[in-house]
A and B are shown apart, each in its own frame.
Chain A
């Protein structure tokens, strides 16, 4: 029984971690880190609302994240303030809503495993259905990247120049943001709402130090994300600690080790 649970958790963790690593690198390159950050907290607020209303957290979390991805750009245009400022304003609102929804949730729900799962992650709720959806999302994500790579890489290099060359930058950005929203919501189940952002960006920050090309950077951040999840899940099982925190500690350890190794190599080369 435990071995099946561990196996499911490891498979889900590796897939979600790899997707997050890849998404984090793409969002970082597109200067959309604050948007991804806000989407993660939107998903958390949506999940908190699901506790209050007794709905499936995937539905409300997804609605909040995708809604944020879609409205942030136009909202920023209407308010005539920068995208970063709009993102951080929404982030604050989502945090406030999260706590309000949690406090307003019925007593039994509040004391149940569900709240902990949303806040700091849980592997107990990983079901075959969840795994199937996660695998489907990863297939869609890889296909989108593979099919549109020529244009997406051009946007990642310089969106303004890509636009000048006839690439529909807004269209591809929205596709990537909506996919990022879906990945964030599904990963939230494993890492928890407050830590999902870490799994998006620590692998990305690690891969920057050891990559010469964009493809290499995306591949390495995916591997590091998957590896972080594996380490975190195993530690969580062994020491009975919250899985989300263990994954982040795993990612941070890889980051620290890579930074040290990279510094030593550069120092030896005389860079």
Chain B
């Protein structure tokens, strides 16, 4: 996608995927907020990168957007829905890849079942259809994990587990994808493939991606917005 096309896409956007107005979030029993005074608008169909050192509040920001952490002050809207009231509904349109996801070796969950769980939460009574399973295998192939589909997830390496979790996030066909340090355990080739192929195609397909990274030098191939955080505050928002 060239610069002109990207500018056009940004201009054509009609709504914000995520809006935070004066948001402050505290962890249980803490007096100091983990994030405070957050004002942020993330346009739909864009890729935003949230950067900052450890403890800057990046993960807290993602979990506040999803409503996993309830802000003590302020308002969070996702696709125009107030997360204080409609969290369960909105989450069905979202996928989340948590940071440092690593399961013990005795975890009794097969790779294909872990990915299928991503779809189950969006189906009536959680029952999967035949086309859902086809989708599961397709996404596993996309991330290069198809041959491991029958293996327990705990027997895989950290990088392989991260790919399985990415497959679980993708299989939901989310409108909003939140990635928390998605490349932390991946090798260089996998990083490049996801950064240069997968993420741009997701954004083109109508998905809004918010990605957290502590690596200040890292930039995905397509990046519309860079949000820099320090000590629980946003210190800079720049269009890339």
A213 at the interface (CB under 8 A from B): yes
B89 proximity list for chain A (CB < 8 A): 166
For the complex formed, measure the closest distance between the CB of B48 and the CB atoms of chain A, giving whole angstroms.
18
Query: What count of chain A residues pass the 8 Å CB interface test?
Result: 26
B149 at the interface (CB under 8 A from A): no
For the complex formed, measure the closest distance between the CB of B83 and the CB atoms of chain A, giving whole angstroms.
12
Given contacts A150-B126, A151-B126, A154-B126, whether A167 and B106 have CB atoms under 8 Å apart is no
CA distance A217 to B108 in the complex (A): 7
B98 at the interface (CB under 8 A from A): yes
Contact yes or no, A148 B121, CB < 8 A = no
Q: Chain B interface: which of A133-141, A157-165, A191-199?
A: A157-165
Which of B94, B116, B123, B152 has a CB less than 8 Å from the CB of A164? Answer: B94
- Contacting residues of chain B (67-108) with chain A, CB-CB under 8 angstroms: 68, 88-92, 94-96, 98, 106, 108
Contact yes or no, A216 B118, CB < 8 A = no
Which of A147, A154, A164, A168 has a CB less than 8 Å from the CB of B68? Answer: A164
Contact yes or no, B91 A166, CB < 8 A = yes
Given contacts A150-B117, A160-B68, A211-B108, whether A165 and B96 have CB atoms under 8 Å apart is yes
CA distance A213 to B98 in the complex (A): 23
For A147, give the chain B residue with the smallest CB separation. Answer: B125
For B119, give the chain A residue with the smallest CB separation. Answer: A150
A268 at the interface (CB under 8 A from B): no
For the complex formed, measure the closest distance between the CB of B85 and the CB atoms of chain A, giving whole angstroms.
14
For A209, give the chain B residue with the smallest CB separation. Answer: B106
CA distance A161 to B109 in the complex (A): 15
Given contacts A165-B172, A208-B108, A212-B152, whether A150 and B96 have CB atoms under 8 Å apart is no
B96 proximity list for chain A (CB < 8 A): 161, 164-165
B128 at the interface (CB under 8 A from A): yes
Given contacts A160-B68, A164-B96, A166-B92, whether A151 and B114 have CB atoms under 8 Å apart is no
Q: B: which residues have CB within 8 A of A?
A: 28-29, 66, 68, 88-92, 94-96, 98, 106, 108-110, 113-114, 116-118, 120-123, 125-128, 152, 172
Q: A150-B117, A160-B68 are in contact. List 9 more A-B contacts (CB 8 A).
A: A148-B126, A150-B121, A164-B94, A164-B96, A164-B98, A165-B92, A167-B121, A213-B108, A214-B109
22 contacts between A and B (CB under 8 A): A80-B29, A147-B125, A149-B126, A150-B116, A151-B126, A153-B113, A154-B121, A160-B68, A162-B117, A162-B121, A163-B68, A164-B94, A165-B121, A166-B92, A166-B94, A168-B88, A208-B106, A211-B108, A212-B108, A213-B110, A216-B108, A217-B108
